[in-house]
Structures are given as C-alpha cells and as structure tokens.
C-alpha cells in the first residue's frame, strides 16, 4: 500500500500546498481521500490518470475538504471516463457534495459517467483490494475518520477532530496514521473547542493505537497552518512525544506503508 499527498494545508492554503488531500493505492487500485486544490492536475503530478481513479472518500462537508469535487468530475468527463465512480461519505456530507455538483449540472452532461453516491457502511466493507472501516470524530459537523487495510498493512485517517476519548478499535495496530495538527500545545484549548488537535495531541493519538509487539506507526502530520515557522514548531512538539516516526510529508512523493 502507498499513500501520496496532494495537499497538506488546513483551512488556509499555503503558497506550496492546497488543502488536505491524499491518494492511497494498492497495486492498480487507487482511492482519493478529500478533494481540494486542482485535483486532476495533482493526480497527474503523482503519476495517476484521473480517468482511472477507482473511488473517492470524503470525511465531512466543510469547504476545504470537498470544494474541488466538481472540478475533478468535470475533468474526468472531458477526458472521456465511462465507468461509474463511487463517492463515499456520511449522509450529510454526501448531500452537500451532491448539491455542490448539481450547481454545475454535472450529472446532466451528455455521456456523463454514472456517479455512485454511497453512504459509508456501518460495517467493514471491501473496496477492491482494500477493507474500508469508518469511525466518528469530534468536529463541528458530522465527520468520519476511516481505516484502509490491504496486503496486511493498515492506514488510519483521523480527519478533522478534537482529541478522541477512546481510539477506534479498528485503528489498533496501524502501520501509518494521518492526523491533523493545527497548532502547538499552548493553543490546544482553542483548537479543541473548534474540533481540532495540536501536533502533540496527534502524537498521543498515534501512541494510543500502537501495539507493543509491532513497530509503531508512521505519523503524517497534515491540516497544517500556512506559516512555515508554525509548521516547524508543531512538528517539533510532535517529535518530542513520538520521535523518529513523525513527519510532515512531501507532496507528490509516494510513501510505502
């Protein structure tokens, strides 16, 4: 399994990165999580043909996580995609995504491929070679974190969230964690009220789901502020608690899980 980041910024984009979005691949199967920035161009930049994308996962209905969905679908249509595209999310997020795409009349375009709007199942489900499991997080709107497992490896995405009291059982033993990190310890009270975490709290989450008999998961910090100095401070605090396996990922470079 590989993960490639197309964007790592939080609500405010930085000059070098759009909002959070990442591609997960297993063999020839590819799944895009969140849709921001210039999705078709970003997929091409990491060697993925947008026409061949197998599914889209959306965590919640805030603009920075799904605003570019119409652009992605428009590009796929112009590039002559024909097979259906499954889009998974919780029910309120799907409703927002459908309304956004309806503004542009995308599903009414001639020869438009079928969009399969699908609510996240309550139980684990197969998605090609992946097993997809979801869990609720603590945010201002209904938000879903999720776990993708394939080939004996496991990736956990916490999406936007305040610290969780209990970690989801499906996340235990993950090989990689993608966790938001919007600030440093001094600002945690304000972050948590807004449904967000600090880098320190992201490190604590990664530690909670580690198992004693296996290597701890790699922690990818994302949903970061645009200021490079603030990003460095966030990363520094996370590494104090979780040294050696914490990183701010580079864009368009695949990481093997």
Q: What is the mean pLDDT of the segment spanning 24-29?
A: 96
Residue 157: closest CA among 147, 167, 142, 168: 147
Domains of the chain from N-terminus onward:
2-256 (3.60.15.10)
Say if residue 170's pLDDT is above 80: yes
The pairing of strands 21-26 and 29-33 is antiparallel
pTM above 0.85, yes or no: yes
Share of the chain above pLDDT 90, in %: 96
For residue 244, the model assigns a pLDDT of 76
Say if residue 43's pLDDT is above 80: yes
First to last CA, the chain: 6
Q: What is the mean pLDDT of the segment spanning 151-180?
A: 96
Q: Which DSSP category does 17 fall into?
A: B
Residues 221 and 252: their CA atoms lie apart, in Å, by 15
Q: What is the mean pLDDT of the segment spanning 197-218?
A: 94
For residue 212, the model assigns a pLDDT of 87
Mean pLDDT of the chain: 96
For residue 69, the model assigns a pLDDT of 98
For residue 213, the model assigns a pLDDT of 86
Say if residue 243's pLDDT is above 90: no
CA 164 to chain centre: 17
């Amino acid at each position: 399994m590989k993960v490639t980041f197309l964007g790592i910024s939080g609500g405010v984009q930085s000059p070098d990165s759009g909002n959070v979005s990442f591609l997960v691949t297993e063999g020839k199967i590819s799944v895009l999580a969140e849709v921001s920035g210039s999705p078709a161009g970003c997929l091409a930049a990491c060697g993925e043909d947008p026409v061949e994308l197998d599914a889209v996962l959306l965590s919640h209905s805030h603009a920075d996580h799904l605003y570019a969905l119409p652009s992605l679908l428009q590009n796929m249509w112009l590039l002559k995609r024909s097979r259906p595209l499954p889009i998974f999310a919780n029910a309120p997020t799907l409703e927002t995504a459908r309304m956004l795409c309806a503004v542009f009349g995308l599903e009414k375009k001639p020869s438009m491929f079928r969009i399969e709007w699908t609510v996240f199942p309550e139980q684990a489900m197969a998605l090609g070679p992946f097993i997809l499991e979801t869990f609720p997080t603590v945010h201002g709107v209904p938000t879903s974190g999720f776990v993708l497992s394939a080939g004996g490896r496991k990736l956990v995405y916490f999406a936007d969230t305040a610290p969780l009291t209990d970690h989801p059982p499906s996340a235990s033993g993950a090989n990689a964690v993608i966790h938001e990190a919007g600030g440093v310890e001094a600002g945690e009270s304000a972050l948590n009220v807004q449904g967000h975490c600090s880098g320190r709290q992201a490190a604590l989450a990664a530690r909670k789901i580690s198992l004693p008999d296996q290597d701890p998961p790699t922690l990818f910090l994302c949903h970061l502020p645009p200021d490079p100095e603030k990003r460095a401070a966030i990363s520094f605090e996370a590494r104090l608690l979780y040294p050696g396996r914490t990183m701010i990922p580079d864009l368009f470079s695949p990481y093997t899980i």
